[in-house]
Amino acid sequence: MANDSEGPDISRRYWDKTSQLMRLVLLLWACLGFGVPLFAPILNDLVLFGFPLGYLLSAQGVLIGFVVLIFWYAGRQNRIDEDFHMAED
Amino acid sequence: MLKGDFTQNMGRVFVIYTGGCLLCAAVLALLSLAGVSDRTIGIAFVLLTVAFYASMGTLGRSARNADHYGAGQSVPALYTGMATAADWMSAASFIGLAGAIYAAGYDGLAFLLGWSGGYVLVAVLLAPYLRKFGQFTVPDFLSARYGGTPARMVGTLVLMSASFLYVVAQLYGTGIIAARFLGLDFRAAVFVGLAGILLCSMQGGMRTLIWTQVAQYLVVIAAYLLPVVILSVRATGVPFPQIMYGQALQRVAGLTTQLGAPSEILSPTGIVDGINFFGVTICLMLGTASLPHVLARFFRTPSVREARISVAWSLLFIFLLYSAAPAYAAFAKLEILQRLADGRLAGDAAWLAEWSRVGLISAGAAAGSPELTQIHIDPDALVLAIPEIAGLPFVVGAVVAAGGLAAAMSSADGLLLSIGKALSHDIYHRLLAPDSSPRRRLSVCRLGMIVAAILAAWMASTRPAGIVTVVGWAFSLAASGLFPALVLGIWWKRATARGAVAGMAAGWSVCLAYILAVQAGWISPVLGVRTIAAGLFGIPAAFLVTLSVSLATPPPSREMQAFIDSIRKPRGPVHPIGEAAGQIDGS
């Protein structure tokens, strides 16, 4: 159990965890936003529902990925808040 | 209790708004069947939309005292998300996006990726912390974090310039619609659009009422999906364009070969113009995370937790429109190519005459033949013109125009209001006349809105560039001026007031100078970077200057460090900072 006091140590560990999550989310964000377009020409050789896969992923898949990513982030960050007793009352 | 108010208001406004819209559309459809001319129907749609917005403003004003400030505090995340999506959907998303994809093919997807990816940055880097800070505007935050007046002034300047360009794009959009449907000259049409927008803004505007925004979202998205669903059913038999346009893409590829058309448009081979593809994407992403009308909603969610989840809902609702945009482009392309191939595009069609008069569609026919052999559609005309080109009932085209008008007007209204408030609050009240009365500030605000609107209309009437380009300038300027200061302000304690002010000024000037110099023809594009991606120079400049000046100046005070610590944690109060460190007041 985390200590309930708001000592500097808890604050620091809370912020480390938060920053770690931030870096992970930004990494995934970059893979989706920049990685997928880079590899689109290769993926285009596959065809799904009549779509060249690279185009489908860039036009729809990445956007869905962003939406899911934010929902996931919100859930994870809420858990971190609770673990460190940093959530609002 | 607040919850009860919300649902009550929700129901009332909902019925008035959506019911009113449906009724108008139904009556006009009947009139159209009864033989009233298309021209009259078009005019009626445009005027009714404007009248509707003006009356919503009046309605909003009477409800405002009860709702205005409380609104954001009592609204579930899902509705905040919908309202943010409604604010977001401007002429750029509604009129410009599908056209950009139609014209540029895969490269046009940069707009889609940029405008949606920006929300990830908003959610992770900014929204929760700005919510914890809890003041009202972006300049309020800059002023608190970076010690007062200079940061507030530079931030306000950046916001005003970005908002101004955004308004120019909205006026350009309303000008196109008014020119086409009221049969006016384009320049005159821009000023008619201006009159409509000012009429609505002066009535009090409507966007602070979250319920009207929720209804607005539903109406706008319905207007957008209507033609593309019809086209999808006609081409494939299935009313889900987002999953069916793969077939359209294949047939487009086939038709392009058959017709020997030179363009590879929509044949998705991948990126053609790499530096601009990634440049546009990154500028739009960072700009999304810096624009005041996006961030403002998240300052006022009920909690930090709700702020995070609201961003997710916003993007989900925006996605519903964005996923239809490439489908719109694909089905439009298919329709046009198919008609060209079958010789079913007549050179004497009424829509062709009207759109060439506005200067957005040009076509050519072989000598002595009534059928068109080629057609060029300006990206900004595509969404509005395709219902007519595809031979859908005129009312469908009018509904799309009304939806576009609604999107442009509500965005322009909100942006003009933010310009007016920046002038009256951040410049007039803070800098020029600290002891001015609220009444006088209101006059300054209104005067500022009118002057800004007239200047914007004048600029739009000169047709500086297409809608997405002008909006791209706004995003580049906002990203270069504000993104580093906002993000480093939260994530880097060492960022100092002087560093941030210098960084904002440097980024903004570099970006603006590049746009002006290239537009005026003084320099040719550096590395081929288009002005729309001018942030490629502005953003690194802003980061470099902020970092180096911050490191060269003494670190922020202990008090400031405690303030930053306090906004990083959802729990507990925000650490107050005194007059010396920054000026916060509740006005």
- Comparing A2 with B467, the larger pLDDT belongs to B467
> What CATH code is carried by the domain that includes residue B434?
1.20.1730.10
Residue B415 lies in a domain: yes
Residue B511 lies in a domain: no
* Helix/strand/coil percent split, chain B, to 5: 75, 0, 20
User: pLDDT at residue B459 above 70?
Assistant: yes
Residue B187 lies in a domain: yes
**Which residue from A11, A52, A89 is facing B569, i.e. has the nearest CB?**
A11
Average pLDDT of the residues in B282-305: 86
**Residues in chain A closer than 8 A to B570 (CB atoms):** 81, 86-88
**Residues in chain B closer than 8 A to A51 (CB atoms):** 245-246, 249
Q: Do A55 and B128 touch (CB under 8 A)?
A: no
User: Mutation test of the interface with chain A: which of B73, B88, B109, choosing the one with the most A Cβ atoms within 10 A?
Assistant: B109
**CA–CA gap between residue B298 and residue B128 (Å, rounded):** 8
pLDDT of residue B265: 53
Domain that holds residue B6: 2-363+371-468
**Which residue from A6, A40, A66 is facing B119, i.e. has the nearest CB?**
A66
Residue B558 lies in a domain: no
Number of CB pairs, chain A paired with chain B, less than 8 A apart:
132
User: pLDDT at residue B545 above 60?
Assistant: yes
Q: Which residues 6+ apart lie within 8 Å of B12 measured at CB?
A: none
Asked if residue B455 lies in contact with residue B194, where contact means CB atoms within 8 angstroms, the answer is: no
**Residues in chain A closer than 8 A to B285 (CB atoms):** 33
Q: DSSP letter at B125?
A: I
Scan residues 69-108 of B and list those with Cβ closer than 8 Å to A: 106
Residue B406 lies in a domain: yes
Pairing status of strand A51-52 against strand B361-365: unpaired
User: Mutation test of the interface with chain A: which of B84, B107, B113, B272, choosing the one with the most A Cβ atoms within 10 A?
Assistant: B113
Residue B514 lies in a domain: no
**Residues in chain A closer than 8 A to B85 (CB atoms):** none
Average pLDDT of the residues in B470-491: 95
Residue B251 lies in a domain: yes
Number of domains making up chain B: 1
What is the ipTM for the molecules in this complex?
0.92
Smallest Cα distance from A87 to chain B, Å: 5
**Residues in chain B closer than 8 A to A22 (CB atoms):** 124-125, 491
User: pLDDT digit string (tens) for B57-116?
Assistant: 666 554 544 443 334 445 678 888 888 888 888 888 899 999 999 888 888 899 999 999
Scan residues 319-338 of B and list those with Cβ closer than 8 Å to A: 319, 322-323, 326
- Comparing B325 with B149, the larger pLDDT belongs to B325
- Comparing B505 with B465, the larger pLDDT belongs to B505
The tally of CA atoms less than 13 A away on the side-chain side of residue B15 is 5
Q: Which residues pair with B372 in a beta bridge?
A: B365
Smallest Cα distance from A22 to chain B, Å: 6
E strands in B288-426: 361-365, 372-377
Q: Do A37 and B268 touch (CB under 8 A)?
A: no
Q: Do A37 and B303 touch (CB under 8 A)?
A: no
Highest mean pLDDT among A61-65, B136-140, B175-179, B337-341: A61-65
Instruction: Indicate the average pLDDT of chain B.
Output: 83
User: Mutation test of the interface with chain B: which of A22, A36, A58, A62, choosing the one with the most B Cβ atoms within 10 A?
Assistant: A58
Handedness of CA B230, B235, B236, B241 (dihedral sign): negative
Average pLDDT of the residues in B348-375: 78
User: pLDDT at residue B401 above 50?
Assistant: yes
Domain boundary assignment for chain A: 8-83
Tell me the angle at which helices A36-43 and B274-288 cross, rounded to the nearest 10 degrees. 140
User: pLDDT digit string (tens) for A13-23?
Assistant: 999 999 999 99
